[in-house]
Each structure stands twice: as structure tokens, then as C-alpha cells.
Structure 1
Amino acid sequence: MSRHTRPAGRPRRAILSAEAIYRTALDLIDREGTEAFSLVRLAKALGVRMPSLYNHVHSREQVVHGVRVLLAAEIDWSSLGRLTWDQALAEWARSYRAAFAEHPNTVRLLATTPVRTPEVLDQYELVVASLEDAGWHPDQAIWILSMLEAFILGSALDLAAPEQMIDMPADATRHPRLAAAVQAAPASGRADSAFELGLLALLAGLRAQLHSQTRDQGGEAGGAVTG
């Protein structure tokens, strides 16, 4: 044996890491969807046996949370706590949608898995704090967060849909107004335009509701003083 040849045995470095497992899981989900995602398939994609996988992760749930961490890292949440609540939510929502638009197959998986990931809870904390500081009640802050997430994730899925979702027949006499609207819409950018319109409408409605609540609360306080 040459003195330069290292004896066989355990490699000096582990061939796996938790992050490598999470990234491979994300790639697997991107390629084949959530239905194909399992630890058995993941081990096969990594080229290792299950015991080697369990040296780094202890459950499928841990891998799912790891995938969530990877996507959370793609979301820019620097606007939260820096801009006004409505401006901050708009910027956060756009970045959130962009991150999931790159990985639409993860939406169903992550949207139905409870969130325990600190990196995501950090973002939620800032969203709720921003809303409460603006005058929203804590329960309303959670409702707004849930509403925005549902809208964002639905919009991310819409980006993966065909550009034109309404397929009008050649004879449109039965639906003339619909046919005219479809014809009037630009040939591209439907999903982006719909998202921006919906986001602006949601925020405008929230601003109006907050203004109404603040005005009513001010009137009640004034009445209590004068009474």
C-alpha cells in the first residue's frame, strides 16, 4: 500500500447534511409534486439508505419544516417595521408570492402543515406587531395575516396556470359581455395584473375599515368624556 493512500473507512466529512437534505427535498417536490414526496423517495434521490438519512433528520415533518425555512429565506421582509403597515404588507406580499411562484408544488404541502418554523414565525411576529401598532386588534391582525396568505398563495398558483384561463368558443353569442372582456384584456400578464388589483383592493378596504374603527372609537371616547 502506498503511504499516500488513505485506508478505507468512514469518510472524514459526512456526505449528508440537514440543509442538503432539505434542498434535495425541495428539488424533488419541484420536479414531481407533493404526491411523490416521501423519505423513501428522498433517500433514493440522495443516493443513500434510510439509516443514513435518519442520522440527520428524524421525520418527514422535520424535512417539511426545513423546506419551509428555505422558502422563508427567499422572502424579503425588511419592509416590516420600516414602512407604514399597508406599504410594508404590500412589499412583503409581493416578495412572498414571488418566492412561492418559483416553487408552486410546495403550496399545498406547506399551506396544510402547521407553522412552527422560527424563521417564519419571525415574519409573522413583525406582521402582527405592525398591524397592532397601526391600531388593529390582535384577533383582527391574525385574520388579516390569514387572509393575505390565502390570497398570496392562490396568486402564486395562478402564475403556474395558463395565461388565458377562459377558453371562449368561436360562437360567443351566449356570453357576449364575457367575450368582449376577454378580448379587451392584454394578451399577457393576466396573473400579475390580477394580483396587483386584488392586493390594492384588499389594502384599500383594510385602510377604510381601520379608519372607520378609529373614528368610532374616538367618538365613543369623546362621548364618555362629555357625558
Structure 2
Amino acid sequence: MARPRKPLLSRDRIVATALALADAEGLQAVSTRRLAAELGVSGPSLYNHFTTKNEILDSVADTVVSQVELSMFTDGTDWAGALLEWGRSYRAALTAHPHIVPFLAQGPGRRPAGLRMADAVFGGMVEAGWPPAQATRIGALMRYFVAGSALGSFARGFVDDASAYDPADYPHLGQAHLLAEHQQQVDLGAFETGLRALVDGLAIQYAALAEPAGEKTAGRKTTSRKPTG
């Protein structure tokens, strides 16, 4: 039998094409009509593999999340080190595909890779001794922080025209026009600063969890009211 002129349509091929389209032109460019044209097929043929456009986007988002490393939560790394490693891997995956971040930020829903990530983080924190409620908050906090850092560039928010920032109006922005030139250094440095501050703050809370009740009471300053009247 002669080979078909075009590769057979598959879920993986649809998802890869949708992700490439989103990366190149933004999420708004991903429509079933455009996908069908890119794949060289008729629109209805997509529905043999996906029921709706949102189902395609779910799979695209899950493909991105599947690139995030999770082994640090099971390989014996301490919880703080695991959060640092995971946060960096998570951001790397999202910054490689920033246009999918707003859709992905809606939550894991039923996405397998997203649910595996949520399970790994929650399980790792609980195993380390965090109360379940706080472990949930830590996972949410990290997601807010990482997704926010991947949505855009702080450095590229400033134009590279020195005359745009008149010192009479902005006395502290004399070097702001140089930020875009150092985008990666500025943005990654800001992320690392925030990530370490976040984990260091959690470490203080974690130490307080293990502190005996008597020591907590002894460590507090006490105040007494003067009698009135």
C-alpha cells in the first residue's frame, strides 16, 4: 500500500500544532478552523479526537505542565530545597510557553499532569510535617507566584529610550531605559529573589510549628495593664 501523503491525524499531532500556534501567535489564534487548516484536514475531523476546543486547550496546558520536574518531592530532598527546585522547573516550563499561562492558571481541573503535580506538592509538604491545610496554601501560593512571574517581563515593560523618563518627573528612573537590554538577568534575578524570600518565610513558619508550646509562651513579650481609678 502506498503511504498517505499527509501524516495521519492524532491527538498528539493536534496538541503539538495547537501549542506551536499559541506560541507563535497567542492563544486567540487557536481555533478549530485554524487548526484544521494548519493540519491540512477538514474541521469536523478534529472532533474524532476532541469534543471541544477547550478540550484541546486542556491537553495543550497539560503538555506544558508535564515538562515540570517533580522528582524532588520523592527523592529525599528537604521540603525547602524541593520547593526551590520545583519552582524553578515550573517557571522554566511556563516561560517557554507564556501564552498558555492564563488558561493554565485556571487550575488543573481534570488534567492528568496538573493533578499529578498538585498531588506531588501536597504530598511532599504533608510528608515533611506541614499540616494539610497549610500544605494546600503553600501549593496555591507557589502557583500564584510562578504563574505571575511567567505572564510577562518586568524589564521589557520599560522602553529603551532614555528621554522617556524625564528626571524632573521620575528622579529614580535614570537607568530604566537599560532594563530591557538585560531582560533575562533582571527577570530571573527578580524571580530568584522572590522565590528565596518566599521559602525563607515559610521556613520561619515551619520552625514555629515544631516549637513546643511552653517555649512559644515563654518567648512572647507580656504586657500588664495598670490598675485604673
- Confirm or deny: 8 A CA contact 1:26 1:67 kept in the other structure: yes
Runs of 4+ in structure 1 off by over 6 angstroms are 165-168, 183-186, 220-223
Taking the TM superposition and a 5 Å limit, the aligned residue runs for 1:8-87 are 15-82=8-75, 83-87=77-81
Q: How much identity, in percent, do the aligned residues show? A: 36
Amino acid at match of 2:205: Q
Instruction: Please list every run of 5 or more consecutive structure 2 residues that lacks an aligned counterpart in the other structure.
Output: 218-229
Counterpart of 1:123 in 2: which secondary structure?
A: helix
Match of 2:167 in 1: 172
Question: How many equivalent pairs are there?
Answer: 213
**CA distance change for structure 1 residues 142 and 87 in 2, over 3 Å: closer, same or farther?**
same
Match of 2:116 in 1: 122
Matched, 1:138 2:132: yes
* Cα root mean square deviation, aligned: 3.2
- Confirm or deny: 8 A CA contact 1:25 1:42 kept in the other structure: yes
Match of 2:221 in 1: none
Q: 1:198 aligns with which of 194, 209, 212?
A: 194
- Confirm or deny: 8 A CA contact 1:104 1:160 kept in the other structure: no
TM-score by length of 2: 0.80
Amino acid at match of 2:173: A
Matched, 1:89 2:83: yes
**CA distance change for structure 1 residues 191 and 166 in 2, over 3 Å: closer, same or farther?**
farther
Match of 2:210 in 1: 214
Using the TM superposition, give the Cα deviation of residue 111 of structure 1 relative to its aligned residue in structure 2, in angstroms.
Answer: 1.3
**CA distance change for structure 1 residues 14 and 164 in 2, over 3 Å: closer, same or farther?**
closer
**Aligned equivalents of 2:137 and 2:180: distance in 1?**
34
Amino acid at match of 1:130: G
**CA distance change for structure 1 residues 35 and 84 in 2, over 3 Å: closer, same or farther?**
same
- Confirm or deny: 8 A CA contact 2:155 2:179 kept in the other structure: no
